[in-house]
Structure 1
Amino acid sequence: MYADNKSCTLTPDSEFVDLAVEVFSLLADATRVKIILALRDDELSVNHLADIVDKSPTSVSQHLARLRMSRMVTTRHEGTKVFYRLTDEHARRLVVDAIEQAEHTVGRTHHHAADSAERP
């Protein structure tokens, strides 16, 4: 939708700055970051995600509801089971970039995105 104006939206006066802050606020929760990392390559049920992030299914469901409202995750129903997956690569990229920034900050990595041939 905004492909033609992409460079225009990347200015300090962009109408999307406040929405970007909301995205960062949503991702400022360790459980949601772990959920996104778990969903990087897989479609998973609430129970499977709960096992992975070591939280109760109820807690994970609440986090998934927030991620669904923000359109970061989507669902697929199979009988009575619901499977979650990332809607697109944006949330994945944000979380991976944040993890790589954290690693870089503490000196555990020296590679940069431009040095990587493959982006997650």
Structure 2
Amino acid sequence: MPSPSSPEPPLPPELLQDVAATFGLLSASVRLHLLWLLSQAEHDVGTLAEATGQSVATVSHHLGKLKLAGLVRARRSGKHQIHYVDDPHVAHLVQLAIEHHRGAPAQRRRAHGA
């Protein structure tokens, strides 16, 4: 934390827009779930679809958005594309947020959704 005598320089609007865009991507619960799963281990789209309860098409669509944002990448393994997190900072942020809410009392969790 900076000392009172050395104030933090102002944040550029472009930086704030980029950060807001990242949080916007994370605001979709399915993308948040995908990033959380991928922060645990690499997965193919079928495994991710099964784990999230979504169709393969839906998961592919959301993975495409995450790839465009530079948060997720894929590599080929035989006939499968194996997806993984490409931004460890965002993966850590997702893990922290989920752990924070897992530890929250049920009443507070419900209030956030209201």
After TM superposition, give the deviation of residue 92 of structure 1 in Å: 1.0
Cα deviations by residue, 1:35-84 (Å, 9 ceiling, x for unpaired): 11111121100000001111000000000000000010001012321010
TM-score, with structure 2 as normaliser: 0.76
Pair 13,88 (structure 1): closer, same or farther in 2 beyond 3 Å:
closer
Long gaps (5+) in structure 2 = 1-7, 108-114
Q: Distance in 2 between matches of 1:95 and 1:24?
A: 10
After TM superposition, give the deviation of residue 93 of structure 1 in Å: 1.3
The aligned counterpart of 1:84 is 83
Percent same amino acid among aligned pairs?
A: 27
The aligned counterpart of 2:11 is 13
RMSD of aligned residue pairs (Cα, Å)? 2.1
User: What does 1:1-120 align with in structure 2 at a 5 Å threshold?
Assistant: 11-14=9-12, 15-103=14-102, 106=105
After TM superposition, give the deviation of residue 98 of structure 1 in Å: 1.9
Long gaps (5+) in structure 1 = 1-9, 109-120
TM-score, with structure 1 as normaliser: 0.73
Q: Aligned residue pairs: how many?
A: 99
Q: Distance in 1 between matches of 2:76 and 2:103?
A: 39
Q: Distance in 2 between matches of 1:79 and 1:101?
A: 38
Cα pair 2:43 2:84 within 8 Å, conserved: yes
Over alpha carbons, which structure has the higher Rg?
2
After TM superposition, give the deviation of residue 107 of structure 1 in Å: 7.2
After TM superposition, give the deviation of residue 97 of structure 1 in Å: 2.3
Cα pair 2:45 2:81 within 8 Å, conserved: yes
Higher relative contact order (CA 8 A, sep 6+): 2
Cα pair 2:70 2:87 within 8 Å, conserved: no
Amino acid at match of 1:57: V
Structure with bigger helix share is 2
Amino acid at match of 1:81: H
Cα pair 2:49 2:59 within 8 Å, conserved: yes
